[in-house]
Amino acid sequence: MNLRTPEPLKIEHQELHADLAAAIGTGGRTADAARNVGRLLHPHFVKEEEYAMPPLGLLADLARGTVEADMSAVLAMTDRLEADLPHMLEEHAAVVAALTELANAANEEGKPDAARFAEKLILHAQTEEQVLYPAAMLVGRYLKLRLGRA
C-alpha cells in the first residue's frame, strides 16, 4: 500500500501558501491580516497533511474494490480525524473569521488579489468540511467494515 495525499490536494495547499505569502508581501493592514491568517493556518495545515488528507489517497483503490490488510494503517489517521473533527471545525471558524478581516482590509486598500485569495481559502475550508473530511472518515469506516474491525 502506498499511502499518500493525492497530488492535487498537495498542490492546492502549496498554492494557498504562495498566495498567503503574496498577501503578506503587499504591506499595510492587508499584510497584518494575512500574517494573522498564516498564524492560524499553518498548524491547521500541518494536521491536515498529517492525518486528514493521506486517507484520501486510498479512494481510487477502494472504489476499484481493492482492499488489502495493510490498508489498516490508515485507521489511526481516520480515527484521529474523527476524534479531532470538532476542533478542526473550530479552527476553520477562526481561519474564516481571519480571512474575512483579510478580505475587508484588502478591499479597503485596493488589493483585489489578496481579497480573491481570502475568498478562495474560505471556499477551500468549505470543501474540506463538506467533502474531504467526510470522505476521509468514510475511508476508515469502510475499511473497518471490510477488514472486520467494525
Give 3-state DSSP helix, strand, coil % of the chain, rounded to 5: 85, 0, 15
Q: Which three cell numbers stand for residue 8?
A: 492535487
Compute the mean pLDDT over every residue in the chain, rounded to the nearest whole number.
Answer: 96
- Read off the pLDDT of residues 46-81 as tens digits, 9 standing for 90 and up: 999 999 999 999 999 999 999 999 999 999 999 999
**Model pTM score:** 0.93
Q: How far is CA 24 from CA 27, 28, 107, in A?
A: 6, 9, 15
pLDDT at 149: 77
**High-pLDDT (> 90) share of the chain, %:** 95
Q: What CA–CA distance (Å, rounded) separates 141 from 150?
A: 8
Domain ranges of the chain: 7-48+70-146
Q: Indicate the angle between helix axes 7-24 and 112-127, nearest 10 degrees.
A: 150
* Average pLDDT over every residue of 93-97: 98
